[in-house]
């Protein structure tokens, strides 16, 4: 794969965002068709890159070579982990953009919606390709600022309040992250992540890296909506238009939060046992508190938002277990198993939670309510929404043969083998409670005594297409448990985490 192709992942959506206001002057419908074309091209490009990827490629913007072993250029880095994330981001972006064509018809100012959506996609793609902390922060801000505006897109009181809360907490997180970046620069005199990795390996005082990692956990913990940094998420995800809710929960919190934690804590900082214990604790808390908050919610989108907190907890707990195995120099098999489960669940959650938010949007579109107490009898009127939501509900609850069963099982097995029986127990309990509130959703929305008008009908075709496609994926992704399939789609990302600071050697070649 040629290095310049990497640049296209954020240049194409940025170019689209600037072109659409111009095309809108000639055709008011142009933005809603341009955006799916852009996301489709990005999806094909990400799949092509993933299939034909080298082990790792670093593209130097402008061709500036290191001066005296100091990397002075902007680096873009593509490897197994970033390629894996690009496929997930652009897959959910494509189906969300197709779904939005019909869903957004009731909104005014659609040209702004699609411009902001493209900017958010460009920011997320840029985050997973950034090879230095400065541009990582810039791309994070592009994605975050776009999401602030999209949360408030309906300009109703609740939406504006949710966006304001999101911005305040996001701004506080940014200050914490900037402080952490400043401290890193003060210690290492560089912002290139590979160069920082070299510098930190030579730091005699082990307290400094741990201190910075704890600061960054706080900042990026807000982005990932980990407990206790989650306060913004339920309002933001429930207030945004449903295609954006699918993006926020499916990929944004994982890209700006989970991915950055993975990249920095495994490939830049030396793995540390103390930090891994913090990750395991935050993951366990998020896992169980998230489901307890979700089980009492009656607003469908709010319930799904709380559920996202729980499932991010699964991912972070798995990463923490893998990290502690590496830090102790113990069973490498358990570390590999934990990373495989976490990355598998990250991909699964993007698909089934993205689908569930599209299902919630379909119900709101047809029945004009998100309150499950006001639904009922929708199975008769919305069979496609029923079938696809059942697929997603069973997958997120961890029932076989749906994909969520296998990713949860791998995380639980890794926890048991590593001796983290409490985490394994919490994961099992959280799975049972998850099944309970998704059974509640199915019962009250589709099978309860009809509470909605008999004139309700299934949503338009493009919304159906997105839901059906993601529902099929909830089943098909189960094949990732097979060694031959896992070798192609999961192992490159797992290997990137296992290599830890070898990331720097491959980029700078020292």
- In 3D, which of 172, 115, 125 has the Cα closest to residue 146? 115
Give the pLDDT score at 202.
72
* 201, two tokens: 């390996």
Q: How far apart are CA 190 and CA 360, in angstroms?
A: 46
Task: Report pTM.
Answer: 0.94
Rounded CA gap, 209 and 56, in Å? 26
Per-residue confidence (pLDDT) for residue 510, from 0 to 100 = 61
Mean of the per-residue pLDDT values of the chain? 89
At 261-275, the pLDDT tens digits run 999 999 899 888 899
Arithmetic mean of pLDDT, 42-68 = 81
Query: What is the three-class DSSP state of 371?
Result: strand
pLDDT at 133: 93
Burial letters 281-320, b for 16+ CB under 10 A, else e: ebbbbbbbbbbebbbebebbbbbbbbbbbbbbbbbbbbbb
pLDDT for 50 equals 87
Give the pLDDT score at 453: 63
Answer whether 409's CB lies under 8 Å from 400's CB: no
Report pLDDT digits (tens) over 322-378. Answer: 999 998 887 789 999 999 999 999 999 999 999 999 999 999 988 888 888 888 788
Buried b (16+ CB within 10 A) or exposed e, 32-50: bebbbebbebbbebbeebb
pLDDT of residue 456: 82
pLDDT digits (tens, 9 = 90+) for 112-165: 899 999 999 999 999 999 989 999 999 999 999 999 999 988 767 888 888 899
List the beta bridge partners of residue 78. Answer: 57
| Model confidence band, residue 504 (pLDDT cutoffs 50, 70, 90) | confident
CB atoms within 10 A of CB 473: 23
Q: Is the peptide bond before 228 cis (omega within 30 degrees of 0)?
A: yes
Count CB neighbours of 51 within 10 A: 12
Output 52 or 93, whichever has higher pLDDT.
Answer: 93
CB 499 within 8 Å of CB 81: no
Quick check: 238 and 301 in contact, CB under 8 A? yes
């Amino acid at each position: 794969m040629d290095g310049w192709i990497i640049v296209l992942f954020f240049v194409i959506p940025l170019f689209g965002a600037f072109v659409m206001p111009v095309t809108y002057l000639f055709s008011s419908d142009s933005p809603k068709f341009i955006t799916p074309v852009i996301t489709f091209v990005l999806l094909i490009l990400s799949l092509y890159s993933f299939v034909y990827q080298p082990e790792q490629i670093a593209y130097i913007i402008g061709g500036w070579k290191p001066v005296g072993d100091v990397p002075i250029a902007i680096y873009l880095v593509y490897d197994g982990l970033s390629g894996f994330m690009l496929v997930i981001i652009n897959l959910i972006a494509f189906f969300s953009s197709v779904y939005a064509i019909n869903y957004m018809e009731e909104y005014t100012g659609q040209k702004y919606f699609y411009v902001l959506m493209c900017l958010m996609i460009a920011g997320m793609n840029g985050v997973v390709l950034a090879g230095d902390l400065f541009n990582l922060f810039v791309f994070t801000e592009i994605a975050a600022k776009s999401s602030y505006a999209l949360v408030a897109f309906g300009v109703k009181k609740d939406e504006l309040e949710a966006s304001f809360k999101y911005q305040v907490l996001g701004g506080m997180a940014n200050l914490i992250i900037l402080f952490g970046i400043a401290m890193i620069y003060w210690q290492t005199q560089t912002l290139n992540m590979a160069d920082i990795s070299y510098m930190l390996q030579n730091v005699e005082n082990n307290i400094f890296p741990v201190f910075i990692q704890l600061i960054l956990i706080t900042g990026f913990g807000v982005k990932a909506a980990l407990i206790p940094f989650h306060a913004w998420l339920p309002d933001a995800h429930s207030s945004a238009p449903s295609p954006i809710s699918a993006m926020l929960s499916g990929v944004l919190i994982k890209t700006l939060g989970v991915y950055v934690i993975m990249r920095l804590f495994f490939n830049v900082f030396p793995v540390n046992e103390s930090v891994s214990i913090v990750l395991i604790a935050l993951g366990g808390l998020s896992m169980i508190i998230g489901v307890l908050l979700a089980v009492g919610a009656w607003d469908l989108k709010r319930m799904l938002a709380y559920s996202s907190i729980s499932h991010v907890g699964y991912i972070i707990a798995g990463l923490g277990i893998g990290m502690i195995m590496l830090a102790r120099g113990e069973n490498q098999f358990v570390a590999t198993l934990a990373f495989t489960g976490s990355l598998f669940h990250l991909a699964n959650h993007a698909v089934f939670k993205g689908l569930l938010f599209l299902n919630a949007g379909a119900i709101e579109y047809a029945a004009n309510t998100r309150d499950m107490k006001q639904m009922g009898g929708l199975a008769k009127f919305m069979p496609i929404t029923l079938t696809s939501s059942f697929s997603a509900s069973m997958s997120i609850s961890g029932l076989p043969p749906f994909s969520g069963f296998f990713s949860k099982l791998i995380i639980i097995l890794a926890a048991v083998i590593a001796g983290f029986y409490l985490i394994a127990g919490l994961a099992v309990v959280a799975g049972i409670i998850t099944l309970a509130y998704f059974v509640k959703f199915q019962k009250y929305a589709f099978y309860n005594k009809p509470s909605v008008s008999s004139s309700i009908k299934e949503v338009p075709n493009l919304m159906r297409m997105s839901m059906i496609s993601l529902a099929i994926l909830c089943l098909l992704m189960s094949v990732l448990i097979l060694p031959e399939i896992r070798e192609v789609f999961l192992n490159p990302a797992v290997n990137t985490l296992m290599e830890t600071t070898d990331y720097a050697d491959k980029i700078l070649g020292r």
